[in-house]
Structure formats: structure tokens, C-alpha cells
Amino acid sequence: MKDRMRELVDLLNKASKAYYAEDREIMSNFEYDKLYDELVQLEKDTGITFSDSPTVNVGYEVVSELPKEKHPEPMLSLDKTKDRDVLADWLGDQEGLLSWKMDGLTVVLTYESGELVKAVTRGNGEVGEVITANARTFKNIPLKISYKGKLVIRGEAVISYSDFEKINSAIPDIDAKYKNPRNLCSGSVRQLNSEITAKRNVKFFAFSMVDPEDNELFDSFENSFEKRFLFLSDLGFQVVEYKKVNRESLGEAITEFSEKLGNNDFPSDGLVLDLEDVAYGKSLGVTSKYPRYAIAFKWADEQAETTLTEIEWSPSRTGLINPVAIFDPVDLEGTEVRRASLHNISYVKDMQLGIGDRIKVYKANMIIPQISENLTRSGRFTIPDKCPACGGSTEIKSENDTETLICINPDCPAKNIKLFSLFVSRNAMNIDGISEATLEKFISEGFLHHLSDIYKLSMYRDKIVELEGFGEKSYNKILSSVEASRNCSMAGFLYGLGIPGIGVANAKLIVKAFSNDFEKIMNATEEEICEIEGLGEVIAHDFKSYMSKESNRDEINRLLEEVTFVIEENSSPQDLAGKTFVITGSLVSFPNRDALKKVIEDRGGKVSGSVSTKTDYLINNDINSNSSKNKNAKKLGVPIITEEDFLEM
């Protein structure tokens, strides 16, 4: 039942987002209502309501400060070990539950009468902060549960690696980026505005519960830690992954967990071993710092000694030039490692790193390569005064006692990574195999300074195949795609230049207006651009400003030496000339909207993104839907037609 509920919540939320935020429909109103009613009934049957269920509306709350609250009993830290034998001796002849030690923020949830009434952070173990409104926005906790007695649950609030990367990628200033998912989670959970917390996709994993006041419930657990987990799971909570172990099976279980580390989407910094017999564990008491019923197992960092051969300075889109250690390859945790981040100039100085130094490296949490120790500490390194990407001057910036290196050239290609990314995109030059990460690597290596350098990558073949993550196969795929892009559409080429206001549709309008004559396009006046239907004065001014800049014209001419325009002969009748269409909803006869759009444009018509008084037809297979575009069309008297109606035209 819970799995079906989770499936329904995700599906209905996806449908709502598509309908309200993206103005498209992925299911009919009838189907939505049917699934919604099924979810409502399941929530009644189980007594469980997930926090992101469409049946509840979680209001956001803004507070001036987070109230403090003392925990009924101190939340102690766990003793820890990196030695498997020590862990086995600690367990002795008892059974235990081995689970992930998640790296987030510990939160205590309190339920009364089946509803979440309070959430408090661990804080310093004695006093925490009340974050109830924020906890209500956690993506996977139930706001309502079937158990009506008082229930206190402890768990870890975490943000996944994928969500962390997504949030960080939207922050342009590298100094403002979050250092790791734990920092981001802590800041998200402790927000004064719960709407911000909601956007961060925080999840909660239960790892224990306080003894319930209900004696009957308490007795049903039979002092079993696992039965408590199963009880919480039945109530709708996501519990940490665990394995029941004894002394003999402990080692194998640790190995199984360690093998999953590289594929986990959530941060963890080890494992926790709890005694299965809760009563026995409590009878052992506590030390001044640790309870005796559980212990943490930290991964023993596998280290290797090697030689530092180079400090590479890697430019980024923010202008920051980051030092990276290059060393003789070593095998760590089953993979070959030859690079590690050095963070900033201050870090390099503190480590007294120098070319030729003997260093020790390891993988933090068995994932991220780091230097643990510099054995020779020569300090032989040079801070470059020229940016590797553009050759422009560099400056050392000092802030909060931390020195960083920056490129001061505003036109540095590393800062214009989005332009390179646009140029290779599907609707532009369609160069498959060159991701943004690949572009960043090529720019930092000095392979790319201008867009036209993409067509000179063969000069760096030997270096590319030796780059980490690349090889002969990757190089051949990239080169093949680059060569294929030499024959391109003029509109795709124009769009790929990144001219302000010139999207795919506007590029097609310009190419059509000038009859596929690129010389005329380059020398067009503002008045000529402004005369093109659909383009205004602002776009015309920006277009002319771009074409008037000598460096832009030089780059275009370099590119024109590399590419050939493929002029598509359009034999279609121009029976849709002067007609404007808007497309919404799912399609049946066409594979996607671009295909339908091409048919309309080939026949002289125009496709717009929104319904207005200039719209002649709205194409929507669900004529009776209540989408915003349908409503606008009816309000303005715009005919709504299906694909079938369109094809009959």
C-alpha cells in the first residue's frame, strides 16, 4: 500500500507541475481525479499522509528566529572505530543492526494524535532549535500517521548529491557555492522561511525512536530494535538501510555497504552498529560522552604514497582559477587516482607543496581524492600570472584570510562557458558528445579560446586521449560529431552565436527574411531587422550591436571558413502563410512539438508560445481541458483545433 501511495503522490505531483507550471498535460482530468480519489482512500485506509501529498496544502511560515528547546534527555554522540576487529569485539555474542551513518542534520520528530506537532534539531545535544514548519516540507515524511499515541522519532535530514549539484550549479559565484551536501542541508533545515526549505528537497531517514509511553506498544517491540524499524516503516517513514548481523556476518555486511558507497546518491560518513536487544543495550548505561548500546564505524581511509608531478591551474566560469594536484597514478578503493583538488592558494601554501614532493593521498569517505600529508614539504610551486584559458592577467584575491587566484579578463572563454554550451547544443550546431563539463575541461587545458577552436580539436588529439575520463573512443566520438556539424543549417548557426534575443524561432525568421544570404544578414541595418514580423526594436538594436563589434565579426568569419550551410529546399505549399499557431498538450500524429512546428513553418505559418489576439489557432488534442491556454483561447475567441483538424486543413 505504501509503495502505491508513494507512486500516486509522485505521479499526481508531476501532473500538477506539468499543468500549472509548464502549461502542458500529461493526463486527462478524468484520469487525475481517478488517481487522486485512489490516494485519498489509501490515506484513509492506512492513516498515513505524506508531506508532499497533493491532498494536503502545507502553508509556508516565516519566523524572525528559531526558538530553542531543551531535549528531555541529552542526545549523546557515538563512540567510533575504524577497526573491524574492534567492532566485532564490541558486538561480542550479541546480534546487531548495521546501518548507514548519514551525513546530514539530526532531527527529532514528535507526533501526537497521529499528526506531526514538533520538530527539533539536535543542536549541541542538550538544546536544539524548533524547526516544525520546515520539517513539514521534508519530501518524504508523513504529516499524518495511523498511530494516535505520542511518538518521538530520531533521524537524519539529508540532501542528495544530485540535488546538491543541481542547487550549486544555479549559483554563479563560486565563493557562494555550498561546500558539501551536509552544509547545504544544515542551512536549509534551519531557514527562517520554510518555503526556502521546501525548494531544497530535504529528505528524512529515521534511525531510532524514543521508548513509547504506550505500554502495549512498548511490549509489542519485545525489546527488538528491528521491530521498531519495521513499525516506523509501516507508519510511512523511510528508515535507514540496515542489515541484521552477528559477529560472523559482520565483516561481510560491512563489505556489502562499502561496495554501495560509490553509487549512493546520499552522503554518509560511515556505519552505525546498534544492539538488536534494546533492553540489554540500555542496561549497559552510558559513559560521560557515549551511550554503550551503539557504536559508529568510520571507513578506514586507504592511503597511498606517490609523487606530485604538477600543480594544474584550472579556470572556472566565475573567474576563479583553482589549483589541482597531478601525481603519479595510485590505486585507491579499487580505482586509479591521479588528481586531487587543492582548493586555493592558501591550502597549497599551508601544505608547502612543491613539484617532486612525496605525498600521501586518500579518498575522503571513500569517494573524493584528497592529499592527507606532504612528506617532503619543499614549497616549490609557482602561481601563474597568466590565465591558462585566455592568457589574460591574473590577480591574487585575499578574503577571510584565504588567498585565491582570479582571471580579470571579462572575455575569458572560461567565463563564457554558456556560449560554448549553446553553440554545441542540439538546436544550434548539434555537436553530440561535448558536454558542459567537457567544454570546461578543454578550456582549462587551453584547447578552446574561441568557438572556432572547436574545429581545431584534432590538433590536441594526443593530449585529449590522455585526459582523465577520456580515451580513444571518446575522442573519436567527439571528432566525428564535430566533423558532421560542418554541414549545418544557417538558422542553427545564427542561433549558436548567442546573439541577445535571437532564439531558434527568431533565427529562422531572420534567415528566411534575407533568403539564406548570410552576407546580407551580417550587414543588416536595425530598420531591416525591425521590419521582420515578430522582431522589435530591442532585438534589432541588440542584433546590430553584436554584428558591429569587430571581434564578433572576426569570429564569425573564422567559423565561416569551417562550415558549409545546407540550404533546405522547401517545396511545401505556402497555404499557412500569415497564420499564427500555438501548440499545447500531448501529440499523437507527430513525435514532438518541433516536428509539428516544422510543418507549420515550412508551409509559411508561424508558431508562437502563448495565445494572444494575433493567434489564429490553438492546437490541443484535449479541446475541453481547463489549461490556461485553452481558457485564454476561449476568452479571445481563438479556435481550438486538434491535430486531426490541423491535418485536414
φ, ψ of residue 410 to 5 degrees: the values are -65, -20
Q: Is 92 left (phi over 0), alpha (psi -120 to 50) or beta?
A: left
- Strand residues in 48-104 grouped as ranges (E): 49-50, 68-70, 80-81, 96-102
| Element (DSSP H or E) covering residue 40 | helix 29-46
Which 8-state DSSP code applies to residue 46?
H
Strand 368-374 with 320-332, pairing: unpaired
> H-type helices in 317-359, by residue range?
345-351
101 is catalytic: yes
Residue 94: other Cβ atoms inside 10 A: 15
Burial 153-177 (b: 16+ CB within 10 A, else e): bebbbbbbeebbeebbeeeeeeeee
Contact 621, 643 (CB under 8 A): yes
CA 388 to chain centre: 28
Residues whose CB is less than 8 angstroms from the CB of residue 455 and which lie 6 or more positions away in sequence, other chains included? 482, 486, 559, 562, 563
Tell me whether residue 223 is exposed, middle or buried, using C-beta atoms within 10 angstroms of its C-beta: 0 to 12, 13 to 18, 19 or more. Answer: middle
Sign of the Cα pseudo-torsion (498, 501, 502, 505, in order)? positive
| Element (DSSP H or E) covering residue 327 | strand 320-332
Which 8-state DSSP code applies to residue 76?
P
Contact 346, 475 (CB under 8 A): no
The CA distance from 558 to 578, in Å, is: 37
φ, ψ of residue 393 to 5 degrees: the values are -70, 150
CA 540 to chain centre: 36
Q: Report the greatest alpha carbon distance in the chain.
A: 88
Give me the catalytic one of 101, 363, 606, 629.
101
Contact 250, 275 (CB under 8 A): no
Contact 586, 25 (CB under 8 A): yes
Q: Which amino acid is located at 635 in the chain?
A: K
The CA distance from 232 to 85, in Å, is: 31
The CA distance from 556 to 578, in Å, is: 32
Q: At what angle do helices 550-560 and 537-548 cross, to 10 degrees?
A: 80
DSSP 218-264: HHHTTTBHHHHHHHHHHTT--BPPEEEE-TTTHHHHHHHHHHHGGG-
Please, which residues bridge with residue 81 across strands? 297
SS3 537: helix
Please, which residues bridge with residue 487 across strands? 564
Catalytically active residues, by annotation: 101
